[in-house]
Structure 1
Amino acid sequence: MIRIIDRLERGQGGAPPEGQQTGRTDMHYPTRHPLPTLEDRIVAQLALSPATRSQLCEALDTSRTNLGRALSTLLDEGSVGAVRSNAAGRGRPTQLLALNATAAHAVGLLITRTSCAGVMLNRSGAVLAAVHIVSPSSPSMSRSLEQTCETLAESAAAQGIDVTHVRAVGVGVPIPMGRNARLSSNAYPSVEELASLTGRWWPAAPVVDNTVRMAALAEGLWGAGTGMSSFIYLRLSGGVGGCVVSDFRLVGGATGLAGELGHITVAGNDALCACGKLGCLETLASIPALCERAGAQDLTALRAAVHAGDERARAALERAAAAVGYVLGSAGLLINPRAIILAGEIVDAFPSIKEDIAAHMRAELLPVMEWDIDVVGASLGPLGAAQGCAYVAAHRAPEEEDRERMPLTLGSADEGDGS
């Protein structure tokens, strides 16, 4: 099923003011909003009404020189244009500037095992187009990404959106993207292959990161984690993925793999995981694992069995909640987060699992101390995570853009990212 959301349904609210992040090299992203740049302030002012250079200087309390530099960037990227020029009288004509609100600036694409999403933002962060594809037509990651690109481009064309000035593309994929991740190229596309695919529609080199990390970033910026200095994000879906926010930063660790909670071993479990290990949390708390243990065909059948009081199904769900609580309790002892944000189809299908997980987690914490760790549900869906992808790409640091243009060499820091 493909759902297309136009500007009227999504509204004009979007990403916050632009700042900087360190990009794919160290894979750390801030989760609170930075101070706006002069370009951001110009865009915000022109979103209210067109203005002359003199009016902008006065409204923004900046010099003509500084304004000129910032405007040059915005004019070059097509975000701002001249709507008319008053040539009456002597001297230099007065140019009236306006925000090109229908020009796409950034694209965010999100691929999961169960759905795909894409968004297109203008320079002020407003959502111009958005698509959500439930149950992609192909199990291939590349084909799913291609289908999402096609659908988003068609939606943009139908709405008359100008896509000639897209400057940033962000892609979230459901595989580890750390620098030392060893993934078979036969099973997964490389970053270069993904870039070649998105480049058919938008030439900007994409920033590629893990789907779960992008969803967590969105929750930190605009969702359940807003204002929280630290939290653990855990998604219970086709797999079990997690990540950590500490001191208002989504951290990657030494090589970008921090937070792989789905592959912590749970005692008393010897099931073989797809990663090659035995006893991973994912073999208990993912959709395929739960359905197999409950004897259910799919999540819908599992939900029906649990509500019907089927003992096997209920036992499988309770075992999963206990395992997740155990892992989160151990993680809580290590980093003492402000909250645990739970997401994914399992949480959506069984809302009460949050309380069960919280109880098992608290049993692992030191009882003589007040931990104050809330367990809450995620508030954003796939479209929010796709917006997180666009945000990361649009806010990459200038030096990171330069690195993206440089060819990779043997032994370089980026070698092996996502291949």
Structure 2
Amino acid sequence: MHYPTRRPLPTLEDRIVAHLAKAPATRSQLCEALDTSRTNLGRALTTLLDEGSVTPVRTNAPGRGRPTQLLTLNSSAAHCVGLNVTRTSCAGVMLSRAGTVLAAVHIVSPASPSLQLSLEQTCEALAASAARQGINTSTVRAVGVGVPIPMGRNARLSSDAYPTMEELSELTRRWWAPLPIVDNTVRMAALAEALWGAGADMSSFIYLRLSGGVGGCVVSDFRLVGGAGGLAGELGHMTVGANESPCACGKRGCLETLASVPALCERAGVADIAQLRGAVLSGDTRAREALEQAAQAVGYVLGSAALLINPRAIIVAGEIVDAFPSLRSDIAAAMHRELIPVMEWDIDVVGASLGPLGAAQASAHIAAHPSDEDAVSPHYPEEGSPREAGPASSMEARTDRGGRP
């Protein structure tokens, strides 16, 4: 449940892939360029050839010499898959061994309220996109999934309310053989921001998502941390003031009862976020008061959290701040009122820079770079599965081959 937010050092396989991404090469050329022995190179190439990431091509040598074997990247071979399901959208990406995006899908407002059906819809759409482009998916070695359910080791989940890890595994394995690594969707979004987005190169930040619920995550000392049981970051369930509103978690007065999309819409007397935005812009008193109360509550909770861990930044994401960008400054002002005034805190409140496809790529990342501390349900790729070179740094979404999301 703890993930480094700095990219892992490249393996020899990674270095071979990076070199071949520039141009095909012979074994001798690779040994010289990578400063490695033929023995070490041979072991690494065996892995890459077996998984289908590298393809040998024979060319005729000049004169009477033996044919030369060039090695080239297999541009149509998928290496890992990342999936991310939220209450409002689904996303999936398929990456090559070099980190190139071969296929990507983003489904807004899934037709089914069922997590399993939404995940199935995403898998089917991603597989169909790959098939249309002639991508070889039999080479997939790792699958990661982000889901909007509690994932702590000690979380007591009702099988009626949430799918089991076995059910999720059976679902993804209809399309791809590896056992998936599963974690919480907010954690995957936070990891994406830490690796490639607004939190890149930051040693410490708090990630807070204001959406259908309120989810949080903590990065400390370049590690996304889960705490002793994987439950760290549940800022949405901190109690705020004298609020007695019942929360879905079983408590009363949680931040989620004030600052989630459903809570805000109910307090403002509107049906959805679009109507809420319209009401606020038109000067509706009830809607404005609901939004102001939410900003104060979020600032209060973040101030308490900041006193505890002193982060470099707060990254605020979700539909609410997307609809009301100025809300970040209101949250920042409320947060700073909770801090000790005689101290210099230097905490920025910023927006997230990546969307659902970024979270999906983070899911692929944790699957392609497994560690002993990965996800609560230890569904790792089969023993011997190679590691993936690492996702692309640019996160602009594409839906066809050749780009990086």
In the superposition, the TM-score normalised over structure 1's length comes to 0.88
C-alpha deviation, 1:307, in angstroms = 0.3
Q: Distance in 2 between matches of 1:251 and 1:399?
A: 10
1:324 to 298, 315, 319: 298
State the distance in 2 between where 1:144 and 1:336 align. 37
Match in the other structure for 1:198? 172
Which letter does structure 1 place at the counterpart of 2:156?
R
Do structure 1's residue 272 and structure 2's residue 246 form an aligned pair?
yes
Letter of the aligned partner of 1:226 in structure 2?
A
Separation of aligned partners in 2, 1:398 and 1:289: 38
SS in structure 2 at match of 1:49: coil
Read off the aligned partner of 2:132 and give its amino acid letter.
A
Q: Deviations over 1:355-396 (max 9, x none)?
A: 000000000000000000000000000001100000110111
Q: CA deviation at 1:399?
A: 10
Whole-angstrom distance in 2 between the partners of 1:400 and 1:174? 17
1:282 aligns with 256
Q: Which residue of 2 aligns with 1:220?
A: 194
In structure 2, do the counterparts of structure 1 residues 357 and 266 end up closer, same or farther at CA, with 3 Å as the change threshold? Answer: same
Aligned pair partner of 1:73 in 25, 31, 47: 47
User: Structure 1, residues 40-73: CA drift from partner, whole Å, max 9, x if none?
Assistant: 1000000001100000000101110111111111
Residue correspondence of structure 1 range 104-253 to structure 2 within 5 A: 104-253=78-227
Distance 1:342 1:197, change over 3 A: same
Counterpart position of 1:254: 228
Which sections of structure 2, spanning at least 5 residues, go unmatched?
383-405
Equivalent residue letter for 2:365: Y
Partner of 1:353: 327
Hey, what's the Cα distance between the residues in 2 that align with 1:58 and 1:266? 62
In terms of mean alpha carbon deviation, does 181-190 or 342-351 score higher? 181-190
Structure 1 spans left out of the alignment, 5+ residues: 1-26, 408-419
Q: CA separation of 1:400/1:265 partners in 2, compared to 1, >3 Å: closer, same or farther? A: closer
Is the Cα–Cα contact under 8 Å of residues 180 and 380 in structure 2 kept in the other structure? Answer: no
- SS of the residue corresponding to residue 48 of structure 1 reads coil
The secondary structure found in structure 1 opposite 2:21 is: helix
How many angstroms apart in 2 are the aligned matches of 1:352 and 1:193? 41
- SS of the aligned residue for 2:299 comes to helix
**Residue 298 of structure 1 aligns with which residue?**
272
Deviation, structure 1 residue 85: 4.7
Report the AA paired with residue 319 of structure 2: E
Partner of 1:413: none
Amino acid at match of 1:68: G
Q: 2:336 aligns with which of 362, 369, 375?
A: 362
Structure 1 runs of 4+ with >2 Å offset: 83-94, 397-401, 403-407
Q: Tell me, in whole angstroms, the C-alpha distance in 2 between the residues paired with 1:304 and 1:404.
A: 45
1:13 corresponds to: none
Secondary structure in 2 matching 1:254: coil
Q: 1:332 to 1:400 in 2, by over 3 A?
A: closer
Which amino acid in 2 is paired with 1:259? G
Name the amino acid aligned to 2:288.
Answer: R
- Percent same amino acid at aligned positions? 77
**How far is 1:405 from its partner?**
6.9
The yes-or-no answer on 1:336 pairing with 2:285 is no
Say whether the 8 Å CA contact 2:2–2:374 is kept in structure 1. Answer: no
Taking a change above 3 Å as real, the CA distance of residues 406 and 355 of structure 1, as seen in their structure-2 partners, is closer
* Aligned residue type for 1:59: A
CA displacement, residues 260-303 of structure 1 (integer Å, 9 cap, x when unaligned):
00000001100000000000000000000000000011110000
Rounded Cα–Cα distance in structure 1 between residues aligned with 2:374 and 2:362 = 18
Counterpart selection for 1:44 from 18, 22, 32: 18
What residue identity is the alignment partner of 2:333? A
